[in-house]
Structure formats: C-alpha cells, structure tokens
A = this chain, B = another copy of it.
Amino acid sequence: MAIVLGPNQYGKAENRVVRIYRETPRHEIRDVNVSTSLRGDFSAAHLVGDQAAVLPTDTQKNTVYAYAKEKGLGAIEAYALTLGRHFVDDIGPVEGARIEVDEYFWDRIEVHGRPHDHSFVRRGQEVRTTIVTVEGEREWVVSGLKDLVVLKSTGSEFRGFLTDRYTTLRETSDRIMATSLVARWRYRNTDVDWDATYAGIRAVLLARFAEVHSLALQQTLWEMGKAVLEGFDPVAEIKLSAPNKHHFLVDLAPFGLENPGEVFHADDRPYGLIQASVIREDTADDADDPALAWYTVPAFA
C-alpha cells in the first residue's frame, strides 16, 4: 500500500511585534508574539520541491508586521482574525490559517504618584493568549491565559482518596495549594468584546480560586470553569490545565521545633498535573469533533 503525505502546515513562529500608539503624548503599547501557520494543498512542495504554491514564511512575517500598522493591533483576537482571513481569502492556495498570539502586559511607571506617559514596567508573568483558526468561511477563536501563578496558604484539603499497595501519602486537611494556571476557552462566535471579556474571565478565575474551599484541585478547576461559563455567554467551553506545585511541610521535629503550616519547601519536580474541561451540554458533541481537535490543540505535539 502506498505511502502518502498526511496533514501538514507551515508558517513563521514567534514574530515579536511591539506596537506603539503615539497619537497623543500618552502612549499605548501592545507587546505580542505572533505565530502563523498555513494549510492547503502543498503537496508539490513536499513531493517534488516545487514552491509555486508556497507563500514564504518570510512573507508571512512581513505581513504580521505590516498589518500591525495597516490594520492596527488592538485586541489580539481581532488582529489574529484579520491576519487569518487575509491569508485564506487573498492567497490562492491557502485553505486554512492558524494564528496564535501571546500578549505580554505592561504597567505605566509611577513617578511621584502619577502614571508616566511613555515609560512602562512589565506586569506579572501572566500571558494572554489566543489561537484563531480560519478555514474557508468558518472561524474559531480559542483564547486564554498562561503562567498565572497563584497560591493559597490555607483552605485546601486532600482526604478520603483511593489507596493501593503503593500508597504512602497521608491525608491532610490544611495544605498550601499553588499552581501556574493555563486556561483556554473557546468562543461560540466572533461577536465579542475581546478585551473586556478577557479581563472579566481573568477576574472570575482568580476570585473562584480564592473563594472555593478546596477538597481537591479538581474541584477548584471545576468551580473556576463553571463560573466562567455561567458568567460569560459567548464562551462555549473552557479547558484548564494546572500543575499542582507542591509545597511540602518541612519536618522540623528533629530540631525540636513545631511546624504548624508555617515553613514549606517549594518543590520543582515531579508535580501533580490536573486537567479538566467544562462545557455546555449542547456543545459537548463539538468537543469530540475531529475538526475541533485539530483547531484547539496543536496539530503536532
């Protein structure tokens, strides 16, 4: 039986675009990392090295930078949709485009108590993300955040779990819970106030993390995801991936010291990894759609 070319895509990854809006003395900044991938019939490039249908990745890079001026760079979802639509509509051989954008945040530097007009300091480690897919007439937007590092110093238990002959863990009714959250939520459509919705979802995720008395990280993730779907109608589903960054209570008894939840060792590896999705019942089927799998997760790991 024959050996044939399977799914494939190509593009320019990690274009580091910084866009300054300077119409007034009070500058605005958008700092993003843009990756493009194009799909279509690129068989000839693979099978015989014929590039006639291949728009160079260098051109994709140029377009990324040119569009930041020509079309503007506001909400990353809008920018990515514009880019993706361009590749699909304007470049003959391109049938689908996947545009991924990460955004880094900046705060204004405070000088004598007043935010400065054109000087900024990087805010947090958190990255806002979007993955936009355009295929023919269809469009999907999967936005999210990553590297949102949070910690609770109490209000977290882990008890009543299943045991087997390899179980040595003791139950605890009070532990540190910490994670570096990755969240990705899929929008039902593209008629969304992107920036406001992002800010709103982020606030809900943080609030639920804080408020839920956690019997397990699974429970916290579920409550966070559920609150997002309840509060934001445009969101069809949300996926949460949370490393359980273990903080082990240090045994100080050998030194004659008590340690009632005060001194911890923050360990690196291994870590628990809890991953859960929360969906609307009517979109549950969509979640099994191969097309969606293709669009919401990296096509190649």
Contact = CB atoms under 8 A, between A and B. Distances in A.
Contacts of A274: 10
A294 to B, nearest CB: 7
A211 interface: yes
A138 interface: no
Contacts of A290: 288-290, 293
A171 to B, nearest CB: 9
16 contacts: A3-B279, A4-B280, A6-B279, A17-B264, A19-B263, A19-B264, A45-B219, A49-B218, A57-B244, A58-B167, A62-B168, A70-B255, A93-B162, A119-B206, A293-B297, A296-B301
Interface in A3-35: 3-22, 27, 29, 31, 35
A153 B24 CA distance: 12
B206 A254 contact: no
- Secondary structure dominating the interface of A: mixed
Given A262-B69, A278-B5, A301-B298, A22 B153 contact: yes
Contact of A206 (B109, B118, B261): B109
A75 interface: no
Which residue, A112, A216, A257, has most C-beta atoms of chain B within 10 A? Answer: A216
Contact of A6 (B56, B123, B247, B287): B287
A199 interface: no
A11 B63 CA distance: 33
Given A255-B166, A272-B12, A49 B219 contact: yes
Which residue, A92, A210, A260, has most C-beta atoms of chain B within 10 A? Answer: A210
Given A270-B13, A278-B4, A280-B2, A122 B109 contact: no
A218 B162 contact: no
A286 B50 CA distance: 28
A140 interface: no
B267 A16 contact: yes
A300 B284 contact: no
A118 B155 contact: yes
B10 A218 contact: yes
Contacts of A27: 153-154
Given A57-B273, A112-B207, 16 more contacts: A9-B275, A13-B271, A13-B272, A45-B219, A48-B215, A49-B216, A56-B161, A59-B164, A69-B259, A90-B164, A91-B162, A118-B154, A119-B210, A120-B153, A124-B124, A298-B301
A283 B162 CA distance: 39
A267 B152 CA distance: 25
Given A218-B8, A297-B298, A301-B298, A243 B3 contact: no
